[in-house]
């Protein structure tokens, strides 16, 4: 999407003018395809590398825009949040040592970013979702100052109306009705571009859709969000929900989400795709281009097709069709958008080689993929891969059910190798990068699996906050090195990295796995529950689910009337803190007021509890 000419559609005249411009672009594109204007005798590859910038404590560093402005390079651009940025590679011909060339190019660019980041006491991190993210990191202050992002956020919220409702279930659950101001900046990707000959586009795009699930299963790297273990590629669920402009509970019509996989195979090439998207996704922003594409093609010149490309940029297909009109000859591309950033640069290049090799290894004799695999299975495979990664089973040709590892190792990797060989990619490059995929899949050690296994080990001795910090710190130190994730050790206690006590907050030490009772429950019920669950304190809620008291085990004696209501015994005048309250202030507050249980509140809602023993554990660790 054009970063400088985004404009809200406010009037009917603007809406009709933009629609006409898009329709003119479609007609111009049809003419260009019919007259064979497109570059079809060469294939190039490219990438967009998104990244996080973190501070010395592996928390988001809001310096991304500063780095972009200070470097002032066309290949380094701002992203949605102030702790993200993106670098763009130069196009490279798909031949010989192209993947080594892409590797060197990105390595050099990342070195420039890393050097500049160090001046801001921060560092580059390649990961799908930053494990140390907190809700407080995703406030309006973290949003990029770019008018583009502010306008898009405002308009998406307006079109949706009401609150967002996030519900993502994995090992843990995320259930939230928060307005996700900067949730869109919480995930980063490694977007891969492949140039496609125009006569071949429909079959190539259908094949790209068909292989998406298995390819993503081998590349997942985003399992933890806000301290919760969700999907292996949680980016897919988060992006779908943060860009969803559909109004809640409006189920009378089958309105599509803007982050979409697709509904069916393509039959008539790239124009077919664009027509579907223009029909399904109403424009609410426009570019103020005055270009007349039909007049341009009549004059024998290549039009910019700016309106069509702009609308395409507001539809977030995981396999996005792209138009290139900047060079001497226009070209078509497929942009793979579902692969996450990280864990290392060498892992990313391996992912690119695997996907591109598989694209070129497509069975060319097959023209109608619907005869091999129903599109419902293709879409279901994608969803399963996002949720379960390599633990998935996929429907494959003729409906056969195949475990992810078997499908990739026995079928897809040989096909990818064959595809790269046909394009003349060097044997050394093929072996180097596809071997990484082979070992990663054979060992069942993607970035997501490594992260989940490490988190499980670390939680035996560390809080959620410190387990996430340890994982993030290890990723930060290793993401620009040449050791792929399948060779990383699963982190244990000896790798644990604890944040300094002066930097800890209530959010770092609170327990968010909370059991509550109601104020009208019997006191005897409350007492029994505390015995069953081995609790010393339990929060008490009113009929609306709001915290109204704390019931302490010490407040119940043998002489207590156990048939009275909890509200008659509970502590009603309690002190609470917000998640950002420093640990030292929490400790001081609890000691001064003789508090054994301290609720942590967010906008009047209970977010967690801090018990006296939680404070003691942190203090004892510091003294040791």
The average pLDDT across 575-595 equals: 94
Residue 248's SS3 state is coil
Superfamily for the 506-623 domain:
CBS-domain (3.10.580.10)
* Domain boundary assignment for the chain: 6-442, 506-623
| pLDDT at residue 139, rounded to an integer | 85
Mean pLDDT of 415-432: 98
Q: What is the pLDDT of residue 2?
A: 42
Q: What is the share, in percent, of the chain residues with pLDDT greater than 90? A: 74
585-613 average pLDDT score: 93
Please state the φ and ψ torsions of residue 601, each to the nearest 5 degrees: -120, 145
Give the mean model confidence (pLDDT) for residues 312-318. Answer: 91
Question: CB–CB of 353/430 below 8 Å?
Answer: yes
Query: What does residue 287 show for φ and ψ, rounded to 5 degrees?
Result: -110, 145
- Give the pLDDT band (50/70/90) at residue 257: confident
pLDDT of residue 283: 83
Average pLDDT, integer, range 154-162: 72
Which position has the higher pLDDT, 372 or 167? 372
Q: Which of 278-282, 442-446, 450-454 has the lowest mean pLDDT?
A: 278-282
- The model's confidence at residue 393, banded by pLDDT at 50, 70 and 90, is very high
Average pLDDT, integer, range 205-219: 99
pLDDT at 398: 82
Q: How far apart are CA 200 and CA 56, in angstroms?
A: 49
The answer, yes or no, to whether residue 587 has pLDDT greater than 60, is yes
Structure-token pair, residue 23: 């329709």
Residue % of the chain over a pLDDT of 70: 95
At 181, is the pLDDT very low, low, confident or very high (cuts 50, 70, 90)? low
Is the model's pLDDT at 210 over the cut of 80? Answer: yes
Tell me the per-residue pLDDT of 494-515, one tens digit each, with 9 for 90 and over: 998 888 888 899 998 998 888 8
**Low-confidence winner among 21-25, 424-428, 554-558 (lowest mean pLDDT):** 554-558
pLDDT band at 284 (very low <50, low <70, confident <90, very high): confident
Lowest mean pLDDT of 95-104, 213-222, 553-562, name the range.
553-562
Can you list the alpha helix ranges (DSSP code H) found in 130-233? 147-160, 201-217
pLDDT above 80 (res 386):
yes
pLDDT at 619 over 80: no
Q: Looking at the DSSP assignment, which residues form a beta bridge with residue 320?
A: 335
β-bridge partners, 55: 122
The whole-number pLDDT of residue 149 equals: 80
| Angle ∠(60,66,69) on CA atoms, nearest 5 | 145
Overall average pLDDT of the 426-444 stretch: 99
Is residue 487 within 8 Å of residue 455, measured between CB atoms? no
Among 3.40.640.10, 3.30.590.20, 3.30.1360.170, 3.90.1150.10, name the CATH number for the domain at 6-442.
3.30.590.20
- The helix/strand count (H/E) of the chain reads as 20, 21
Does the bond joining 343 to the residue before it have cis omega, within 30 degrees of 0?
yes
* Cβ neighbours of 169 (radius 10 Å): 13
298's tokens: 């009549």
- pLDDT range class, residue 622, cuts 50, 70, 90: low
- What's the average model confidence in pLDDT over 564-577? 94
Confidence class for position 4, pLDDT limits 50, 70, 90: very low
Task: State which of 156-165, 347-356, 394-403, 525-534 shows the largest mean pLDDT.
Answer: 347-356
Output the pLDDT for position 204.
98
Residue 47: left (phi > 0), alpha (psi -120 to 50), or beta?
Answer: beta
Lowest mean pLDDT among 2-11, 196-205, 573-582: 2-11
Q: If pLDDT is split at 50, 70 and 90, which confidence band does 164 have?
A: low
Question: What's the pLDDT score for residue 569?
Answer: 94
Residue 3 has a pLDDT of: 47
pLDDT band per the 50, 70, 90 thresholds, residue 518: very high
What is the pLDDT, as a whole number, of residue 258?
Answer: 76
The domains spanning 6-442 and 506-623 adopt the same CATH topology: no
Tell me the pLDDT band of 130, cut-offs 50, 70 and 90.
very high
Distance separating alpha carbons of residues 377 and 11, to the nearest angstrom: 42
**Predicted local confidence at residue 157, as pLDDT:** 74
Q: If pLDDT is split at 50, 70 and 90, which confidence band does 45 have?
A: very high
Q: pLDDT confidence of 252, banded at 50, 70, 90?
A: very low
Closest by Cα among 312, 224, 302 to 275: 312
């Amino acid at each position: 999407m054009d970063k400088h000419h985004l404009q809200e559609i406010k009037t009917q005249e603007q809406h009709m003018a933009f629609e006409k411009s898009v329709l003119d672009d479609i007609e111009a594109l049809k003419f260009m395809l019919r007259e064979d204007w497109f570059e079809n005798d060469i294939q190039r590859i490219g990438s967009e590398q998104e990244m996080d910038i973190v501070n010395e404590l592996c928390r988001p560093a809001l310096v991304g825009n500063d780095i972009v402005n200070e470097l002032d390079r066309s290949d380094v651009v701002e992203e949605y949040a102030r702790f993200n940025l993106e670098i763009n590679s130069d196009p490279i011909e798909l031949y010989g040592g192209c993947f080594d060339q892409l590797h060197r190019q990105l390595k050099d660019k990342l070195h420039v970013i890393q050097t500049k980041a160090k001046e801001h006491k921060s560092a580059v991190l390649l990961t799908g979702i930053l494990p140390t993210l907190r809700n407080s990191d995703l406030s309006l202050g973290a949003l990029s100052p770019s008018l583009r992002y502010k306008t898009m956020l405002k308009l998406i919220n307006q079109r949706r109306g009401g609150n967002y409702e996030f519900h993502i279930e994995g090992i843990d659950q995320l259930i939230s009705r928060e307005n996700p101001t900067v949730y869109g900046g919480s995930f980063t990707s490694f977007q891969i571009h492949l140039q496609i000959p125009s006569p071949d586009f429909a079959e190539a795009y259908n094949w790209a859709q068909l292989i998406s699930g298995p390819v993503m299963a081998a590349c997942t790297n985003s399992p933890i969000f806000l301290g919760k273990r969700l999907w292996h590629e949680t980016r897919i669920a988060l992006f779908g929900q943060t860009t969803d402009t559909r109004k809640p509970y409006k189920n009378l019509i089958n309105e599509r989400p803007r982050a979409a996989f697709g509904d069916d195979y393509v039959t008539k090439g790239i124009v077919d795709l664009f027509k579907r998207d223009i029909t399904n996704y109403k424009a609410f922003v426009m570019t103020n281009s005055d270009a007349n594409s039909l007049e341009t093609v009549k004059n024998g010149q290549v039009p910019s097709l700016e309106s069509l490309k702009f609308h395409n940029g507001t539809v977030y297909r995981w396999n996005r069709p792209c138009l290139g009109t900047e060079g001497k000859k226009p070209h078509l591309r497929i942009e793979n958008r579902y692969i996450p950033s990280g864990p290392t640069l060498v892992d990313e290049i391996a992912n690119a080689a695997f996907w591109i090799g598989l694209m070129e290894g497509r069975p060319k004799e097959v023209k109608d993929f619907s005869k091999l695999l129903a599109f419902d299975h293709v879409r279901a495979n994608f969803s399963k891969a996002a949720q379960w990664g390599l633990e998935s089973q996929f429907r494959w040709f003729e409906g056969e059910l195949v475990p992810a590892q078997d499908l990739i190792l026995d079928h897809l990797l040989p096909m990818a190798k064959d595809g790269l060989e046909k394009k003349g990619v060097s044997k050394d490059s093929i072996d180097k990068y596809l071997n990484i995929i082979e070992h990663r899949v054979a060992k069942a050690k993607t970035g997501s699996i490594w992260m989940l296994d490490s988190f499980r080990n670390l939680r035996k001795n560390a809080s959620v906050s410190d387990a996430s910090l340890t994982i993030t710190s290890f990723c930060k130190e290793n993401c620009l090195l040449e050791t792929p994730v399948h060779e990383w050790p699963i982190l244990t206690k000896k790798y644990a990295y604890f944040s300094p006590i002066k930097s800890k907050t209530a959010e770092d030490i609170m327990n968010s796995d909370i059991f509550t009772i109601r104020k009208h429950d019997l006191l005897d019920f409350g007492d029994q529950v505390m015995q069953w669950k081995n609790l010393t304190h339990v929060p008490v809620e009113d009929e609306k689910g709001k915290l109204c008291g704390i019931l302490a085990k010490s407040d119940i004696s043998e002489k207590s009337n156990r048939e009275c209501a909890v509200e008659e015994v509970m502590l009603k005048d309690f002190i609470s803190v917000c998640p950002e309250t420093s640990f030292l202030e929490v400790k001081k507050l609890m000691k001064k007021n003789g508090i054994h249980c301290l609720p942590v509140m967010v906008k009047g809602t209970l977010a967690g509890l801090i018990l006296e023993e939680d404070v003691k554990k942190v203090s004892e660790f510091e003294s040791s």
